[in-house]
Structure 1
Amino acid sequence: MTGRRRWETEEILDTAAELLRTSDAESFSVRKLAAALGTDSSSLYRHFRNKTELLRAVVDRIMLAAMDDYRPEGDWKQRVIALALRLHAAFGEQPQLAVVWGRYASSGSGSRLFMEELLQALRASGLPDEEVPVRYHRFVILLAALISADAGIGTINPDEYEQGMEFFRVAVLGADPERFPALAHFARDIRPLGADRRAAFEEILAAQLAHIEAQIP
């Protein structure tokens, strides 16, 4: 009698990442993953204790890929921006996982590499040591929010996007000037959330770095 195939951890993570390309973390389940692999859930629990642990492992692989061949260059601000853009690009290819990253903490190699480099860059700025963890925490919260928001836009299909744009045009250009005078005044210049997101991302990062720089003695 032929025994059931034993799946390697990397094969399981590959399949999980592929499933998460087309479904969100809420609808993803170990049962669905097992079905895609042609096995039962119990065999996967030998590798991961639960769904959350599995999702963390998939996210950490994204971060590990983002840090692959990274070499710190430039001053501390250039290093921080390079890290942010690498993560932004990595999660842009797997937008469903950006929300997972913002929700579940990861403790794998990819996460540690990112944390180490960001902490080193902030320390190189001249911040007092007691300020570094605080600024690190604020920066990561901002980064997770921006990347998750960008990723959310990236999961919308063209029909949904065009429908949303139509709603936006109706809401903004059709605003009653008596009830919404400011909105009516600026209506033709207001951009929808999906526009110029890369430029907005970089501008918000620059503002945060300027705020950090102002804390340096």
Structure 2
Amino acid sequence: MTRRRRWSTEEILEATAELLTAGDAESFSVRKLAAVLGTDSSSLYRHFRSKTELLRAVADRILVAAMDGYHPEGDWKQRITALALRVREAAGQQPQLAAVWGRYASGGAGSRLVMEEMLQALRTSGLPDAEIPTHYQRIAVLVAALIAAEAGVGALTQEEYEQGMELFRVAVLGADPERFPALAHFARDIRPLGVDRRAAFEEILAAHLTAIEAAIP
């Protein structure tokens, strides 16, 4: 009788990432993963206690990739901005995994590295220690929400994206000026959500960090 191969945790995560890239978190299951690896689900549950735990672990790879080669430079705002942009870039390269991260978050090594750097940067800002956890949480929520929204667009097929653009044009350019006077007035200047996302990301984050700076004693 042929013995089944023993898969390492890293190999399981790699196979999970590949499966998610070809599909999404909704269609993913441990049973499908087991079939791809030629094993049974019980052998995978020796590494991860649940599907959610497995997805959290694979989502953490986004943050590990973002922190690879990272070196803090500049003042606290520059550090946080650079960190957020690195996470955004890593998420953009793997939008399906970024969508999983946006939904399940993570608590692995990558998550701890990002948290440590952001907290260290905030400690140099002049904020009282008692206020830092709250500001950290607000920044984390903002960055995660923006990246998760982008991941949703990035995971679309070209056909789905083009259909969305056509629906946008019909909804905006074809708006009835009597019922939607403001929309009709600005229609030709309003851009789809998928356009200029990096600029919007930077401006929104900068505005938030400026508001924090204004509150520093």
TM-score (norm 1): 0.97
The residue number in structure 2 matching 1:27 is 27
Percent identical among aligned pairs is 76
Query: Does structure 1 residue 132 correspond to structure 2 residue 136?
Result: no
C-alpha separation in 1, matches of 2:138 and 2:63: 19
C-alpha separation in 1, matches of 2:191 and 2:105: 33
Let me know the Cα RMSD of the aligned residues.
Answer: 1.1
The number of equivalent residue pairs is 217
Deviations 1:75-116 (A, max 9, x none): 111100111011101111121222322332422111111100
- Where 1:130 maps in the other structure, the secondary structure is helix
Query: Does structure 1 residue 13 correspond to structure 2 residue 3?
Result: no
Structure 1 residue runs without a partner (length 5+): none
C-alpha separation in 2, matches of 1:31 and 1:45: 11
Pairing 1:110-125 to 2, within 5 Å after superposition: 110-125=110-125
The residue number in structure 1 matching 2:96 is 96
C-alpha separation in 2, matches of 1:211 and 1:24: 37
- Where 1:195 maps in the other structure, the secondary structure is coil
Pairing 1:39-188 to 2, within 5 Å after superposition: 39-188=39-188
C-alpha separation in 1, matches of 2:182 and 2:26: 39
One-letter identity of the residue aligned with 1:14: E
One-letter identity of the residue aligned with 2:118: L
Structure 2 residue runs without a partner (length 5+): none
- Where 1:35 maps in the other structure, the secondary structure is helix
C-alpha separation in 1, matches of 2:12 and 2:161: 33
One-letter identity of the residue aligned with 1:153: V
C-alpha separation in 2, matches of 1:199 and 1:49: 40
C-alpha separation in 2, matches of 1:170 and 1:4: 55
TM-score (norm 2): 0.97
The residue number in structure 2 matching 1:210 is 210
C-alpha separation in 2, matches of 1:92 and 1:64: 14
Distance verdict in 2 for CA 1:156–1:31, change over 3 Å = same
C-alpha separation in 1, matches of 2:162 and 2:6: 45
One-letter identity of the residue aligned with 2:139: F
- Give the C-alpha shift of residue 162 in structure 1: 1.4
The residue number in structure 1 matching 2:201 is 201
2:52 touches 2:104 (CA, 8 Å); kept in 1? yes
C-alpha separation in 1, matches of 2:52 and 2:161: 30
- Where 1:3 maps in the other structure, the secondary structure is coil
- Give the C-alpha shift of residue 196 in structure 1: 0.7
- Where 2:129 maps in the other structure, the secondary structure is coil
C-alpha separation in 2, matches of 1:105 and 1:166: 32
One-letter identity of the residue aligned with 1:48: F
2:59 touches 2:100 (CA, 8 Å); kept in 1? yes
